[in-house]
Structures are given as structure tokens and as C-alpha cells.
Amino acid sequence: MSSPATGEGAGNTEYGRKAFKRSKSHFADRITADGRDGWPVEPGRYRLVVSRACPWASRVLVSRRLLGLEDALSLGVTDPVQDDRSWRFTLDADDRDPVLGIRFLHEAYDKRETDYPGGVSVPAIVDVPSGKLVTNDYQQITLDLATEWRDLHRPGAPDLYPEALRDEIDEVAEGIYRDVNNGVYRAGFATSQEEYEAAYRDVFRRLDQVSERLRDQRYLVGDTLTEADIRLFTTLVRFDAVYHGHFKCNRNKLEQDPVLWGYVRDLYQTPGFGDTVDFDHIKRHYYVVHTGINPTSIVPVGPDLSGWLTPHHREQLGGRPFGDGTPPGPVPAGEEIPAGHRP
């Protein structure tokens, strides 16, 4: 999610006032085992910067937890309410990231490319020694964590991108990206009735297809958690809280679809998923930052979160969440979601 989300460099008041276009990741270097782009996988060398409000950043948070990379890849969390200068480290002492020493994420972008004109987006991985941004390629980062970072995975880490299933995972994830992950933004930031209604139809057509797919199987591809589930989860977990009302995707709430509501609760209650989700950050970002859509910046009190912890019964479909592996351990100290920000 860039600042602003369109990646066009306009202020927060422009949300909903100009045609939405998802920016491509400008910095697409990869951190690989062989270091072919100049960035070799090394424990402790890089810092992951996220907003817990952002669904694209949340993918990386889930992957990092499931794979047990917390010690290898440190975490910086920004204020969910960014200003026109970019994501801010106002949650940290002295309003500075304690590792990078910067107040705004754009400082890492500027070290990489002077006067970079594009949006400052999360997730971002920064090289700690140089302070330079390495990559903001949200589509590739999680795939590389699952494959290129394998030597640093915890014992019992799941294979989130199994080679035999990659074609199917990619196909499923592409449809979800186009119509759901990105579709809710196309609806929310539409500037014409026609544009909005087309995106709305795409969102619910795809959700209906996904619901049918998940009716008799626990996970999207195969019988274990994969990259496809992570990519769907980060939109579904935000759906009732922000996309249903704020982005006008209001045919129905997720909790009114028994299959999707059971599926997303199953994931939420799986270690590594729900323990990365901060509903307060999510709501405050969308409702406060998008002043072109919500000029009063009033943040809704609801919805009631207690349902997220109710039984989902999806285990009756079988499936092995972590395959031959094990769940991740406890959330590291300092990364816990505050009690008031979760069910």
C-alpha cells in the first residue's frame, strides 16, 4: 500500500477523486540465496517495514510468522495514519525506527533513488547497513521468503509454495488478486457509477466462485496452507470492517456467507494468521487517511469482533494446516497485537 494507495504521489484528499490504478513495484530487486541481484539472504541484514493496516504488507507478516523468520528478518511497524510525506515511525521512541534511525519510510527510498517521484509503499525491505530500500515488490516478497530464504526457516516450517502445486497456486492467486485483492480498491476508489458497479460485480463474482471452491475443501489448493490462502486471507479479514462499508462492497457481509466466514475464521484462529492482525490499525488507516471518501475521518466503532473466535468446524473437511510441519511458536516479544485491537 503506497502513500497514497494509488501510488501517484497525491495527498490523502485525492483518495476517491481520481481514477484508481495499482502501481507496479518500482523497486523489484530480489533477495536471493545466491545474491544474484546483489542482495544475498543473510540473517539480520534486512529490516521489513510494514503497516499492519495494509493487506499487501500483511501477506509478508503472515509468511514471516509461519516460516519462523522473525529472528532473521527484523520488523518495523509504522503508524497506520500516514501523512503526505509517507509512512511514519511515530509508534517508536523519538518517532524514529530504532534500527534504521529514520522518521519516514521515504528516507530509505531516497537513499536508494534520489528524488524518487513515486508512492512510498509497504511492504518494504530495507538493507540495514546502507539504509537503502531493497524491494517493495509485494507480489514477489512472500514467494522469495518461501523459497529463497529456506535455509533460515524454522524447523517444521510449512512449504507455502510447493513446486508441484505452483501452477495452480499462481492461477488461483491471479484471479483473487485481480477481482478481490485489487477489486475492492477499484470499487472503493471508483470515480464513476459505471466504474464502481463493474468492480463490485467482479468482487462478488469471484467471492462466489471461491466460496463454491471452498465448500468441500479446507484450503484453496491442496490439503495444506499455501501462498494462495495467505493472499485471500488478508482481504477477507478486512472485508466487514472496511471494504463492506467504506469501499461500498455491500452486497453482503462476509459473515453472511457460511463458507467464507468459516474459512476466514479457520485461518484467523490458526497461529501465524490472526496474531498478526490489528483491527484498530486497519480501521483507523482506511477511515482517517481516505479523506476523499470519508471527509469527516470518523472511525466506526463496529463491527463486533467476538465472532472471530467462535468455532468454525472447518476441521471436519480434513486437511493438514502445516503439512508435515508444525505451528509457529509464540509471537515474539514486542510484536503482540494490543488487547484492545483484537477480539
Known binding residues for glutathione: 87
Per-residue pLDDT tens digits for 72-95: 999 999 999 998 889 999 999 999
Same domain, 286 and 187: yes
Please count the structural domains in the chain: 2
Same domain, 185 and 253: yes
Same domain, 171 and 148: no
Q: Does residue 179 fall inside a structural domain? A: yes
What is the CATH number for 253?
A: 1.20.1050.10
What is the CATH number for 124?
A: 3.40.30.10
Question: Does residue 68 carry a pLDDT above 90?
Answer: yes
Q: Does residue 335 fall inside a structural domain? A: no
Per-residue pLDDT tens digits for 206-256: 999 999 999 999 999 999 999 999 999 999 999 999 999 999 999 999 999
Question: Does residue 9 carry a pLDDT above 70?
Answer: no
> Can you give the pLDDT at residue 3?
44
Label residue 114 exposed, middle or buried (CB < 10 Å: 0-12, 13-18, 19+).
Answer: exposed
Per-residue pLDDT tens digits for 123-172: 999 999 999 999 999 999 999 999 999 999 999 999 999 999 999 999 99
Known binding residues: 87
> Can you give the pLDDT at residue 332?
97
Give the residue numbers spanning the domain of 263.
166-317
Q: Does residue 96 fall inside a structural domain? A: yes
Q: Does residue 343 fall inside a structural domain? A: no
Q: Which residues are catalytic?
A: 54, 185
Per-residue pLDDT tens digits for 294-312: 999 999 999 999 999 999 9
Same domain, 171 and 146: no
Rounded CA-CA distance 31/66 in Å is: 19
Same domain, 140 and 106: yes
- Torsion angle of the four alpha carbons 304, 250, 184, 269, in this order, in degrees rounded to the nearest 10: 30
Q: Does residue 244 fall inside a structural domain? A: yes
pTM above threshold 0.75? yes
> Confidence class of residue 102 from pLDDT cuts 50, 70 and 90?
very high
Residue 235's nearest CA partner among 209, 203, 205, 208 is 203
